[in-house]
Amino acid sequence: MEVSEIAAKRILTPSRIPGVDYSLNPYLGCSFGCRYCYVSWMPWVRDRGRRWGEFVEAKANAPALLREELKRATPGMVAIGISTDPYQPIEARLRLTERILEVFRGNSARERGFRVRVLTKSPLVLRDAGVLAELDAEVGITVTTDSEGIRRLFEPRAPPIPLRIRALRELKRRGVRTYAFVGPMLPMDPEGLVGMLSGAVDRVVIDRMNYP
């Protein structure tokens, strides 16, 4: 795994995703390296000349950039983790996502009308449950199947499904709004998945496999 630090030019990227005004990605690349990841087919990944999942570039200046951009940006929904996982393993050391959330909190972003949504596969998000609850952020954890066998085929380096469900339950217990992102929907026992998610989430979002 190759980890480097870069200086980004901007951090709030206008988004065309329905219901999302800005995407915010603290990292380029993702060490989870899921086999279906649509980001891996993007030209900038090919330009790097490295295999998807084997490099991560941390936007070291992201908190400072965000502080500046929040002064001028029109309030709206900010989705963190559209093209990377904001709680992939390197986050435990760099704490970039945590510092980004602190900038939102320190700049009274919620009071000004900025809303935050986070999407991850990692229980590391629990570390930030306090600030997420204060921001009234919504946290999604991706759960693509109820089968660990299927998960290992498609997401071999991502956390096991039971740990993700446990994290959803704990987030909810600690006052964070939660959703399960079932996308792409992989082979599963649907009733089994519903049973696992019961009581752990406020809503479920389902997506199909998006082939290039």
Please, what is the minimum distance in Å from the beta carbon of residue 186 to ligand SF4?
12
Residues of 130-152 as b/e, b for ≥16 C-beta within 10 angstroms?
Answer: ebbeebebbbbbbbbbbbeeebe
Amino acid at 11: I
**Of 39 and 204, CB closest to ligand SF4:** 39
Closest contact distance (angstroms) between CB of 30 and ligand SF4 is 3
Q: Retrieve residue 166's tokens.
A: 């446990």
Name the residue nearer to ligand SF4 (CB basis): 84 or 178: 84
User: How far apart are CB 211 and ligand SF4 at their closest, in Å?
Assistant: 14
Q: Residue 197 is encoded by which pair of tokens? A: 């998610």
Give least dist CB 85 to ligand SF4, A. 4
Tally the C-alpha atoms within 13 A of residue 46's C-alpha that lie toward its C-beta. Answer: 4
Comparison of 49 and 199: residue with beta carbon closer to ligand SF4? 49
Cβ proximity to ligand SF4: between 116 and 158 the closer is 158
Return residues touching ligand SF4 (CB under 6 A).
30, 32-34, 37, 39, 84-85, 121, 158
Other C-beta atoms closer than 10 Å to the C-beta of 53 total: 19
